[in-house]
Chain A
Amino acid sequence: MEDPGWIEIPHAEQSAELAIVHAGGDWTIVSAGSLDRELQALALPAGREVVFDLHALRALDTAGAWLIYRTVSALRARRHKVRMRGGRERHRAMLRRVGASYRPCTIEPPRLATWRRLALQVGAATVGVARDAGGFVAFLGAAVLALLRTLARPRRLRITSLVNQMEQVGFNALPIVALMSFLVGVVLAYQGAAQLQRLGAEVFVVDLIAVSVLREIGILLTAVVVAGRSGSAFTAQIGAMKANEEVDAMRTLGLDPLDVLVLPRLLALILTLPILAFVADLMGLLGGGLMAWAVLDISPWLFLQRLREGVEIASFWVGIAKAPFFAAVIALVGCYEGLQVSGSAESVGRQTTRAVVEAIFLVIVLDAMFSIFFDLVGV
């Protein structure tokens, strides 16, 4: 039984002194949109007293009451005398309530000019990076100290936790790492073959695959996968515990989160990433070898012979040597960002994203520095 709200200004009732406006039906939010437009268009002759006749008014909610209140206020501001007649007590009470409650408010926070906002953002980002770097260095120091303490008294080490983490970050990561490096080996061989065939130097595809997989791609790809897979998991696990006040509870029980949470993860990754990198090297060579056999007809025997003649073992060690450093960066960034989580679940998500981006970025920076270093020492 809906009875949309309406207003009427019956011609017969108007006089030189009085303008009579009838309001009736349900003045609710359902009809508020159309009533709003009608009231905005309401033109009453100046100087007359306005009478709102509410006899036919049925339901009145706060939206409808607001429309009446607003119209009356606007008319009074234009020096009309206004009165109401025929409203029921509960309608009048609603009008009073609305009049007493309304205070104009702003809807959105003040907007700054674009250039100011830009400047503020750059400034805030700079300060944030500096503070983050400082915090991370302090965390690095604390972690190294905790590591030394543990080395001095190995019984402090939480073996169960360490083995559990090694399974999660190492063993469980094997399939994805193996598959990805196999595919990258295939791609390298295929692309290399296309280029080298034009020079008639097909056999050098073995050198190409071996050097790039062993020195760079095997370990770098593994590090990126592990950063995305395990670095993010570290942040999410520790972050959820932080948000749940578990980390604080640990501190009050005399447990150091560095010992309990950070060291097992750090050591697990340092121990397993070289193994993952080794597997990635093997699978990369396998993929490249199979592709070379298929496309260039380089037999596995020839591939192995060329590998032994053309590629120094140093290439392999250069790759593997980087693994523990990458592992430390990924684990420390993951744990650090996890401990930076504050309160909300939203913050866990934000820190996890940061951890992955920062870990991958730092791994690549570190890799570039290793390249320069190995070049200088001539390996």
Chain B
Amino acid sequence: MSPASRTPIIEVRGLHTRFGRQVIHAGLDLDVYRGEVLGVVGGSGTGKSVLLRTIVGLNPPARGSVSVFGQQLATLPGAERARYETRWGVLFQDGALFSSLTVAQNIEVPMRESYSLSPRLTDELAALKLGLVGLPAQAGAKFPSELSGGMRKRAGLARALALDPEIVFLDEPTAGLDPIGAAGFDELIATLQRQLGLTVFMVTHDLDSLQRICDRVAVLAEQRVLVTGTLDELRAYDHPWVHEYFNGPRARAARAQGTARVPARAGVTMPATGA
């Protein structure tokens, strides 16, 4: 399945972003295709998280266009934009759970906001999401401060999945997790991606995650997307930073122990819900 034969679900064209006089992106282009896991890498300060925030509309671009689901959301009126926004979920770095609500209540927030479901169904769906992300049932009534970092991330993912989105944005999902927790989270993302037919946009530094679950990787450098491709393509790419990144000692180690990718990637495409 070559990229050209698929439709991009996210299309970024000529994006310029700046904070004050500091230019982050200048003429950035990026396509994300339906049903793929895209990893976004880059050195510190290259604006990986900024790109994520720009795509979900938290950061107005200085110039250029961002289309998601074939719509330039920035140009739509608020109510219509909100309808599209229910079709993606975002996992922030430390989960960004509301600290005054329990985990289950956190998951219920988007459901209560967007749809009129009966309280019983809302509770059941929250419990279902907890199970989907592999949290024990007791975690539902706990407050975010009572959870470990790894559990908070899972809870954040459950909230991001609350409305059964088509796209999930993940901001460094494995940062701050121990290797076992990180591997478990990779596994979880791969499983959910396959079973729910998600498109995943993942900012990461984790070479193991790239190795294990990403279909394609986009490299941010020189204020734009320098190159996108599979890991093998990037290893062969001739650019000092890219070469260092994908052929450095840590990359080699990740490749050596992580060649076994999460299996069963065939037939993953599932028609998007409600499209």
B140 proximity list for chain A (CB < 8 A): 105-107
Measured in the bound complex, the distance between the Cα atoms of B195 and A107 in whole Å is 26
A128 proximity list for chain B (CB < 8 A): none
A103 proximity list for chain B (CB < 8 A): 127, 130-131, 136-137
Query: Does A75 belong to the interface (CB within 8 Å)?
Result: no
Query: Given A2, A67, A104, A110, which contacts B137 in the complex, CB threshold below 8 Å?
Result: A104
B274 touches A30 (CB 8 A): yes
B118 proximity list for chain A (CB < 8 A): 33, 36-37
Q: How many residues belonging to B are interface residues under a CB distance threshold of 8 Å? A: 40
Measured in the bound complex, the distance between the Cα atoms of B123 and A63 in whole Å is 12
Given contacts A29-B115, A58-B271, contact A105 B138 (CB under 8 A): yes
Interface string of B146-162 (1 = CB under 8 A from A): 00000000000000010
A-B contact list, 17 entries, CB within 8 Å: A26-B274, A28-B273, A29-B125, A29-B163, A32-B117, A32-B125, A36-B121, A59-B272, A62-B128, A98-B128, A103-B131, A105-B104, A106-B141, A107-B102, A108-B102, A109-B142, A109-B143
B123 proximity list for chain A (CB < 8 A): 107
In the complex, what's the smallest C-beta–C-beta distance from B142 to chain A, in angstroms?
7
B108 proximity list for chain A (CB < 8 A): 107
A105 touches B270 (CB 8 A): no
Measured in the bound complex, the distance between the Cα atoms of B272 and A62 in whole Å is 12
List the interface of chain B (C-beta within 8 A of A): 99, 102, 104-105, 108, 111, 115-118, 121, 123-132, 136-143, 161, 163-164, 195-196, 270-275
A32 proximity list for chain B (CB < 8 A): 115, 117, 121, 125
In the complex, what's the smallest C-beta–C-beta distance from A167 to chain B, in angstroms?
29
B105 touches A107 (CB 8 A): yes
B127 proximity list for chain A (CB < 8 A): 102-105
Query: Does A8 belong to the interface (CB within 8 Å)?
Result: no
Find residues 80-120 in chain A having any chain B CB closer than 8 Å to their own CB: 90, 93-94, 97-98, 100-110
B164 touches A61 (CB 8 A): yes
Query: Does A346 belong to the interface (CB within 8 Å)?
Result: yes
In the complex, what's the smallest C-beta–C-beta distance from B132 to chain A, in angstroms?
5
A110 proximity list for chain B (CB < 8 A): 141
Query: Does A66 belong to the interface (CB within 8 Å)?
Result: yes
In the complex, what's the smallest C-beta–C-beta distance from A22 to chain B, in angstroms?
20
B273 touches A61 (CB 8 A): yes
B274 touches A66 (CB 8 A): no
Query: Does A70 belong to the interface (CB within 8 Å)?
Result: yes
Measured in the bound complex, the distance between the Cα atoms of B195 and A100 in whole Å is 13
A30 proximity list for chain B (CB < 8 A): 115, 274
B99 proximity list for chain A (CB < 8 A): 346
A346 proximity list for chain B (CB < 8 A): 99
B275 proximity list for chain A (CB < 8 A): 1, 59
In the complex, what's the smallest C-beta–C-beta distance from B105 to chain A, in angstroms?
6
In the complex, what's the smallest C-beta–C-beta distance from A276 to chain B, in angstroms?
38
B116 proximity list for chain A (CB < 8 A): 33
Measured in the bound complex, the distance between the Cα atoms of B123 and A102 in whole Å is 11
Measured in the bound complex, the distance between the Cα atoms of B145 and A109 in whole Å is 14
Query: Given B121, B131, B270, B273, which contacts A101 in the complex, CB threshold below 8 Å?
Result: B131
B126 proximity list for chain A (CB < 8 A): 105, 107
Find residues 1-59 in chain A having any chain B CB closer than 8 Å to their own CB: 1-2, 26, 28-30, 32-33, 36-37, 58-59
Given contacts A29-B115, A109-B141, contact A63 B125 (CB under 8 A): yes
B102 proximity list for chain A (CB < 8 A): 107-109
Residue among A33, A37, A102, A107 with the most chain B CB within 10 A? A107
Given contacts A62-B196, A107-B102, A108-B105, contact A28 B164 (CB under 8 A): yes
B121 proximity list for chain A (CB < 8 A): 32-33, 36, 67
